[in-house]
Amino acid sequence: MPEATERLVTLLADLRSATAAKKCHRCGCFRGTVEQMRKALPALPEEAKIELLPLIAEGESKLVSSEYDCLGCAVCWPANVLNLASEEFPGAAIGVDASCPTDIPERTQGWPPYPGNFRVLDAAGDVAVCVLTSERLIDHLASAKPDRVAMVGAVYTENLGLERIITNVLANPNLTTLVLCGADSQQLIGHLPGQSLLSLVANGLDERGRIIGAEGRRPIIKNVSSEAVETFRHGVSMVDRIGTGDVAEILDVIGGLPAQCTRGTAGGVTLGPTPIMAGPPARLVLDPAGYFVVLPDRTRGVMIVEHYQNDGTLAHVIEGPRAEHLFTTVIENQLVSRLDHAAYLGKELALAEHAVATGEPYVQDRAPEPLSECGSGCGCHPAPSK
């Protein structure tokens, strides 16, 4: 059997396996693969279309709302499908990174800026320890409280996981050394974050943001600037002890590290979006579309939204049991034109819905006096007399 035919047979078998597995139906890996294969279908040979079309359609019928981006399964059938498809149909431009999430996580204040499975020991330390997938080592090493160690953490993926390492390390100017230890992933289509990280330091990224020489499943760096990657590569010393799981041996490695007072740099560094600090609102201004009065009706279990023109004329009355139903109707009818008023109405509808459900009292909020010229519920107009 020709190699290409064997590859296609395996691709079809893995797509069937993913479609049959309930855990895949809720996983972003499966969704990304099905969507990517559907997108690539027009560029495939006719005989491949005949085989793939019913499987893609069946996969689409199994899709539900994604509950998790990636489970880190020992065998990831969706990822294997895309890998095989990109090899079998090189002219179809199949995106092999489509089955793994690469969205940047929410940044937090303080250090480290991104969350993860780690323990912070001493933020002033110059050493970070990554135990790769051997998360059991985190507590053992943290309990030993080794000198100079700022944090001990695990990493599971060679895309988002490595991005968090780069950003968290560069966000602390004290860190000069990163020790890799513990077990790297050895799955059929493993992420191999350790091997990928060493490849990143040794080789950098290609023009697509892919780590040169990485053997992991999806070694794509999307959310960290090239300047930050280069600063990490040339400024942080890597200590490769991948495969070492003995706590005493790891502690000996840490204890024998030479002191490094400063970290090298490679130009300016951009670590991602800078948090915007929220401040008090500016003076509210009139919405040309009018203003709203929100009234909960607990007897009927609904909320009523009265829409008034700016001259006080009642223009519309909308009612419904859910805040999103009311808000959607307001938008569809173009009854609000300013974002601050839209935000205000959404807040009030959520409070009114809670009041209807719990029986708690509801009084439409008033903007602080400095923001209001008239003292109304929306900060623009007085509520009409009843």
Does the structure show a pLDDT above 70 at 213? yes
Q: Is the peptide bond before 112 cis (omega within 30 degrees of 0)?
A: yes
What average pLDDT does this structure show over 261-288? 62
Tell me, yes or no, whether 20 lies in a domain: yes
Tell me, yes or no, whether 271 lies in a domain: no
Question: Is 170:231 a contact under the CB 8 Å cutoff?
Answer: yes
Does the structure show a pLDDT above 70 at 298? yes
Same domain, 50 and 138: no
Phi, psi of 335 (to 5 degrees): -95, 0
Tell me, yes or no, whether 152 lies in a domain: yes
Q: Which domain range does residue 31 map to?
A: 3-92
Q: Per-residue pLDDT tens for 140-188?
A: 999 999 999 999 999 988 888 899 999 999 999 899 999 999 998 755 4
Structure confidence at residue 379 (pLDDT): 44
Q: With cut-offs at 50, 70 and 90, classify the pLDDT of residue 381.
A: very low
Does the structure show a pLDDT above 60 at 305? yes
Cα four-point dihedral sign 62, 63, 65, 68: positive
230-231-234 Cα angle (round to 5): 80
| Beta-bridge mates of residue 174 | none
Q: Per the structure, how many domains does the chain have? A: 3
- Domain final position from 255, 274, 308: 255
pTM greater than the 0.75 cutoff: no
Same domain, 211 and 152: yes
Least confident of 91-100, 208-217, 223-232: 91-100
Tell me, yes or no, whether 322 lies in a domain: yes
Share of the chain above pLDDT 90, in %: 43
Same domain, 306 and 229: no
Same domain, 122 and 232: yes
Tell me, yes or no, whether 48 lies in a domain: yes
Same domain, 305 and 245: no
Least confident of 27-31, 107-111, 195-199, 317-321: 107-111
Same domain, 235 and 313: no
Question: Is 303:319 a contact under the CB 8 Å cutoff?
Answer: yes
Same domain, 127 and 86: no
Q: In this structure, which amino acid lies at residue 114?
A: Y
Alpha-carbon span 254 to 153, nearest angstrom: 15
Question: Is 15:59 a contact under the CB 8 Å cutoff?
Answer: yes
Alpha-carbon span 208 to 221, nearest angstrom: 9
Q: What rounded mean pLDDT belongs to the chain? A: 82
Least confident of 34-48, 76-90, 232-246: 76-90
Return the closest-CA partner of residue 233 out of 185, 274, 270, 178.
Answer: 178
What average pLDDT does this structure show over 205-215? 90
Same domain, 137 and 209: yes
Same domain, 122 and 251: yes
Greater model confidence, 41 or 269: 41
Alpha-carbon span 20 to 55, nearest angstrom: 11
Does the structure show a pLDDT above 60 at 115? yes
Structure confidence at residue 3 (pLDDT): 47
- Domain final position from 255, 280, 307: 255
Tell me, yes or no, whether 162 lies in a domain: yes
Least confident of 23-27, 166-170, 233-237, 315-319: 23-27
DSSP E strand boundaries for 121-174: 127-130, 149-153
What average pLDDT does this structure show over 363-381? 48
Q: Per-residue pLDDT tens for 75-109?
A: 778 877 887 887 788 877 776 555 555 555 566 66
Considering 18-32, 255-269, 366-380, the range whose residues carry the highest mean pLDDT is 18-32
Same domain, 75 and 194: no
Greater model confidence, 83 or 282: 83
Q: With cut-offs at 50, 70 and 90, classify the pLDDT of residue 267.
A: very low
Tell me, yes or no, whether 343 lies in a domain: yes
